[in-house]
Structure 1
């Protein structure tokens, strides 16, 4: 537990002074670029820490991250984001201002107000402001919480909690509850992840200081504020801190029965069964309102902790229709699924059916139940979902169907998702375009592009109106299957629907022609775009540049793009790098990343593209140099770029470098691919111990992926001109130690390698491995063994092996004859006799 020895942390709750002066957030002075001189009050030694409830906010902040010398650009970025993050705020600025007039110099960066009171007297601008206001109300309010939370967290990550709070104040915005809550959550999350005890205390200190600032400013503190603290102390097993904090917040109109949820979680977490039963016995008569609310919170705690015994008793006593919220009921059904308590599901569903208030949510509760059941495949989840609805006579809701479709698509079970859509149609629930978008996405990810011929007719039959991006995806599927007729039919429908030709749809067709360097197809698409007055955009030019085969062609494309007034985008920069590299103009490719117009946020991707282009064209040393430069600047190269480097770094003596590259893939889905490639490198250069260590790591992370890599290992050994069977057998022995059973495919590859090496002794060992692994011998196994014996000149043993093979299969006879011609057979020609194979 983290609670041991945190004396200064506990002193916070014991000695907090309620008379701390209210800080003025607008007067806090941020430590920004241009000065390294920060005012530091005298600090105690490390052994005598400050009780942080008695310290001013400025002093507390000394232990937290402060802005570095290059913080000006970061603050400018945060400022721009804050000023542009809200449509609702932006319409309140002067309508005469352009987008570039909002912040035009460093001098007024921190002096502009968050909201301007300037208004226009012109009717046109009033109408424009009204339209923006309506858009703000509809768009911004729907996404405000998610976007702002993300913005605040990014600010904290880059600048630290203190400087982020200062920025909000300097921008003229009063810090509200949502900003405080996000900052508190960020500090507590950093504390969870911290391995340093001092840093842990500092983060919790600052989180609590923010909490006291909220109280001092008169904010009403809801569970959204104090809940994260209580859960944090529960998860960390910090009993004393939990108790002190509870005493501290009970004065804020705190509802006592809600405290029961956190208290029960705490005692379960620390294993204090006496306290658990003390709370349990405090419930009293469940029929009383207060006791019932307390019982509900204990029930939720038992659900979270999976305490089945106590949970069963409360489930028997509670009336599901009296649970305070739909969210809580949904969580209870999830627990019923985890613990497989279907009898309660039926009981509760029948009770909810008689409650008009909950009727629309019953289908979602069933979804919560079936998706929480352990060890169910997606198909089984769908089947159980349908079965429960039918048996309990519950109508499936549109929302639960959509969630079920998303679940199938997340697992790339596209056919199952389409079957759900069919079931919706049979239930007179017409699918929406929103429900079909995940199916289109999953079809592309699973490479089942042909499903577009099912999805698009379904859209038309239900008069669904796809957006332009959905049209583009379906057109892209068609062209990838070389179904250009289908692509143009969808394009024609899109033009009829939107009464205009859109560039992105033509780009989908153009992309496939450019990929195949099909000049005729490219010219046809460009002519169609010209005839229909479809404008070329940066994506169009990025495709055209990628097909250029000379420096002159690249220059022409760039000149035409410039004359068209099209801005250079990330895709264009990457296309330029690829085109120059393919033309052998590597110096020009390197010059691309020096363009000062490249936005900083795209520079990492563009440099990564240069690394890939150089390594693919044989300049591996140059690629590695730029890769190192990317890392030195604090950026992380793109995972696909690292895979490209691993693929092309094949010379001997590069193992340490490859392992370093693999570390750059940690936490990425590409790690498995990179690990597999390095294992094959180790096999090629006989680094057996390193290969085994990587196999061990691979098995720990994904055992099924290990089987695929083992097959690749033996495929590589089998494909060598002189297979190293010693390496193959050593790996086989290590697999047994790692408790990895080689597949039949792996043993087949290894036996084939014995044929090339004419090594019958190794073949006999491998032949026995089939039996050890539990694989029965089949005709291919016998044929491979027969080949090995013939190649080794062991004709008598080969003859005995031939007797074990089928006697009438013409394909087997043909293979045997070819083997005898290739390896010789002495005086043992194959003779067909009464439908069998005989040896003369």
Structure 2
């Protein structure tokens, strides 16, 4: 019987079988070649196959997103993953296997892809997708596991996988590992993309490791071997790093290298150079060079000029930058805010506040960073009312929290208890659903008390009472530790005994640190017998603990000897 004469039921079953094995497009093409016109019934059969596959695929991807292990395993038993396309979907499946740590299943699936002649670069991508999704895996282990999986399926890592690994290392600031991968790529004749190189240079800048930074700079000299053309932003990242390290000579050497490579400096280059000038002549020199190169004067350049002049003590010239007609109206307020911040940080508080008032009268708002700068530099001798007014200007929550903590610390220093309490209440209201954030912020306040003069103990105790009675919060261990430290500094035995009881009331068992601090207070107060009893309760297995105990005994023994000697001298004089 010819294909043309097959009954509808049989042809439908044949189409379904071919559709399952070959796919819908290949099936239509095959039947066309065999002389069978694709009619409505045949298309319906193919549509039914597509819908069933789409359902299965949607279920599979949904299970991958939800990480429902049992259901995912059941579906993977009936779905042929090697038939799934595009590869992006398969990568999502491997990511889920990684999150669920199903290593044996991942390995089996990778071997299946190898057998069915899947493109090596896709298999390499699946490996990377799986490994980086494994929870709590150190960067070194990620690199090792990626290599071992490639060895198992006998596939060479693709350039894309290498670059993904480099980016992964850079995001974790593991620049040393990233540079080793770059070396591997070069040995294999693979080249980096510009985007990956930018990522590597940025990570080098952020790593604060000068040796790695030098390595990244050395790599710039080998760009020709990688068939890459250097860009200004690559050199800018290196220049910024040198300036951050206060290495002006290194930054200028990079600038020279930039010139030799025939790379034209851009506005960002000159922004770094100008903002790090410590002489007025250098500011003028770089500004003239900027114009000679035809580089556009951006808002960053205007900001750099302001900061540079302010740092050189040329405050009037910093103010004169605002009169430049090249400043776009839309950037004027932002640049004025930079001037306020620069003046405040250089101690020119009166001028900074004056410009702040001008901005307000013009109907604009000061930028949050400038407000924080004003709050920070107003604190030594500013008025609380001004600080509270500045705090109200902050609308962004992160900046407001930063500013609020600074004003609370001011209140603690100047013993404005009621204002400190009011701000603590506002903080609690902002983080009513986040106890951890509230605890961290309160700990920051008490840390100041622990490091301050002895006279701060009482305001610390008052704040502790407020936290318990008015805010209905239990003090954290750090909070009590800081207060106990303040008692040590003040040699205040009575207050330390109160705080000692607070540990118990808060359900916090005394630990080595609290025992040591209490031991210090007892020695400082001359309660040697009680101190000896406390000493017996301190675990001494740790070397550092023994060193602290010895240092305390030496310190307070010497202090006691001086006191006795003074008393004896006083007695002789009386006789």
Is the TM-score greater than 0.5?
Answer: yes
The secondary structure found in structure 1 opposite 2:323 is coil
TM-superposed CA distance for 1:449, in Å, is 4.8
In the alignment, the residues of structure 1 paired with residue 132 and residue 392 of structure 2 have an alpha-carbon distance, to the nearest angstrom, of 33
Deviation of 1:560 after TM superposition, in Å, equals 2.5
Q: Is the 8 A contact 2:94 2:106 kept in 1?
A: no
Residue 727 of structure 1 pairs with residue 469 of structure 2:
no
Q: Match for 2:551 among 788, 793, 815? A: 815
Change (3 A) 1:827 1:813: farther
Residues 550 and 365 (structure 1), Cα distance of their counterparts in 2 relative to 1, 3 Å cut: closer
* Residues 614-668 of structure 1 deviation map (CA, whole Å, 9 limit, x = unaligned): 2211223433444455566676654433332332231567555545545555445
Match of residue 750 from structure 1: 483
Q: Partner of 2:411 in structure 1?
A: 682
The answer to whether structure 1 residue 767 and structure 2 residue 500 are counterparts is yes
Question: Taking structure 1 as reference, are residues 632 and 723 closer, same or farther at Cα in structure 2, changes over 3 Å only?
Answer: same
1:344 aligns with 2:71: yes
Asked if residue 824 in structure 1 is aligned to residue 560 in structure 2, the reply is yes
Contact 1:471 1:494 in 2 (8 A): no
Query: What residue number does 2:441 align with?
Result: 709
Deviations 1:792-834 (A, max 9, x none): 2333322332333457965255224323335427999xxxxxx
> CA distance change for structure 1 residues 439 and 741 in 2, over 3 Å: closer, same or farther?
farther
2:101 aligned partner: 384
Instruction: Indicate the residue corresponding to 1:836 in structure 2.
Output: none
Q: Could you tell me how far 1:327 is from its partner in structure 2?
A: 8.3
Structure 1 residues 454 and 658: alpha-carbon distance in aligned structure 2, compared to 1, 3 A threshold: farther
Aligned partner of 1:616 in structure 2 is 345
The CA deviation at 1:586 is: 1.7
Correspondence for 1:471: 197
Shift of 1:674: 3.4
SS at match of 1:584: coil
Aligned to 2:37: none
Gap change, CA 1:616 and 1:774, over 3 Å in 2: same
Alignment of 1:481 with 2:209, yes or no, is: yes
Q: Does 1:535 align with 2:264?
A: yes
Show the counterpart of 1:575.
304
Assess, with a 3 A threshold, how the Cα gap between structure 1 residues 442 and 556 changes in structure 2: closer, same or farther.
Answer: same
In structure 2, distance between residues paired with 1:382 and 1:547: 46
Q: Which residue of 2 aligns with 1:589?
A: 318
CA distance in 2, matches of 1:324, 1:786: 71
Give yes or no for contact 1:321–1:355 (8 Å, CA) kept in 2.
Answer: no
Measured in 1, the distance between the counterparts of 2:511 and 2:125 equals: 51
Task: Report if aligned partners of 2:101, 2:134 keep a CA contact under 8 Å in 1.
Answer: no
Q: Does the residue aligned with 2:79 lie in a helix, a strand or coil?
A: helix
Cα deviation, 1:174-225, whole Å, max 9, x if unaligned, reads xxxxxxxxxxxxxxxxxxxxxxxxxxxxxxxxxxxxxxxxxxxxxxxxxxxx
Q: For the Cα contact (< 8 Å) 2:454–2:487, is it kept in 1?
A: no
- CA deviations 1:505-530 (Å, max 9, x no partner) are 33333323334443433443344344
How far apart, in 2, do the equivalents of 1:421 and 1:366 lie? 17
TM-score normalised over the length of structure 1: 0.51
Structure 2: distance between partners of 1:642 and 1:437: 39
| Unmatched tracts of structure 2, length 5 or more | 1-43, 114-121, 565-575
Q: Determine which structure has the larger helix proportion and give its number.
A: 2
Cα 1:538–1:358 change in 2 (3 A) is closer
Q: 1:228-307 to 2 correspondence within 5 Å?
A: none
CA distance in 1, matches of 2:401, 2:188: 42
Distance in 2 separating the partners of 1:632 and 1:425: 66
Matched, 1:443 2:172: yes
Q: How many residues align?
A: 497
For the residues of structure 2 that align with 1:408 and 1:655, how far apart are their CA atoms?
Answer: 51
Deviations, residues 254-310 of structure 1 (Å, cap 9, x unaligned):
xxxxxxxxxxxxxxxxxxxxxxxxxxxxxxxxxxxx9xx9xxxxxxxxxxxxxxxxx
What value does the CA root-mean-square deviation take over the aligned residues? Answer: 4.3
* 2:515 counterpart of 1:782: yes
| Residue pair 1:353, 1:359 contacting (<8 A) in 2 also | no
Give the drift of 1:580: 0.7
Quick check: 755-764 or 767-776, which moved more? 767-776
Q: d(CA) in 2 for partners of 1:580 and 1:674? A: 27
Distance 1:418 1:691, change over 3 A: farther
Task: Tell me the residue number matched to 1:491.
Answer: 220
Q: Which residue of 1 aligns with 2:402?
A: 673
